[in-house]
Amino acid sequence: MNPIRSIFVHSLTEDQAKVELAALAQELAHHDQLYFQKDAPEISDAEYDALARRNEEIEIRFPHLKRPDSRTHRVGTTPGSRFKKVNHLSPMLSLDNAFHAEDVIDFVTRCKKGLHLSDKDALSFLAEPKIDGLSCSLRYENGSLVQASTRGDGVTGEDITQNVKTIRNIPTQLKGYYPSLIEVRGEIYLEKADFQTLNDQRQEEGDPLFANPRNAAAGSVRQLDVAITASRPLKFFSYGVGRDDLKDILTQNDLLSRLKAWGLPINPLCQLCPTVDDLLNFYQTLSHIRFKIPYEIDGVVYKVNDFAHQKTLGFVSRAPRWAIAHKFAAEKAETLLKKIIIQVGRTGVLTPVAELEPIGVGGVMVSRATLHNQDEIHRKDIREGDRVIIQRAGDVIPQVLQSLGSLGHERGPVFQFPKTCPVCGSHIVKEQDEVALRCSGGLTCHAQLLESLKHFVSKHAFNIEGLAGKRIDYLWEQGLLKSAADIFTLEERDKSSAHPLKTHEGWGELSTRNLFDSIRNRQALSLDRFIYALGIRHIGRVTAHLLAERYGTFDAWWGAMKEACCKDSSAYTQLVAIEGIGEIVATSLTNFVGEPKNDVQVEALIPHLTLRPVRKTTM
H or E stretch at 216: helix 213-221
Going by C-beta distance under 8 Å and a sequence separation of 6 or more, which residues neighbour residue 30?
540
The alpha helices in 480-540, defined as continuous H runs, are: 484-487, 490-495, 508-521, 527-533
Q: Which three-class secondary structure string do you get for 471-489?
A: HHHHHHHCCCCCCHHHHCC
Q: What is the DSSP annotation of 97-123?
A: EE-SHHHHHHHHHHHHHHTT--TTS--
* Residue 301 bridge partners (DSSP): 128, 325
Distance in angstroms (rounded) separating the CA atoms of residues 257 and 574: 64
Catalytic residue, from 130, 192, 235, 327: name it: 130
Backbone φ and ψ for 50, nearest 5 degrees, come out as: -65, -40
Is 130 annotated in the active site?
A: yes
- Nearest Cα residue to 66 out of 55, 78, 77: 55
Q: Which amino acid, one-letter code, is at 15?
A: D
CA distances in angstroms from 488 to 132, 450, 457, 506, 602, listed in the order given: 42, 16, 12, 21, 13
Going by C-beta distance under 8 Å and a sequence separation of 6 or more, which residues neighbour residue 487?
453, 456, 457, 464, 467, 481, 519
Length of the chain, in residues:
619
Residues annotated catalytic, as ranges: 130
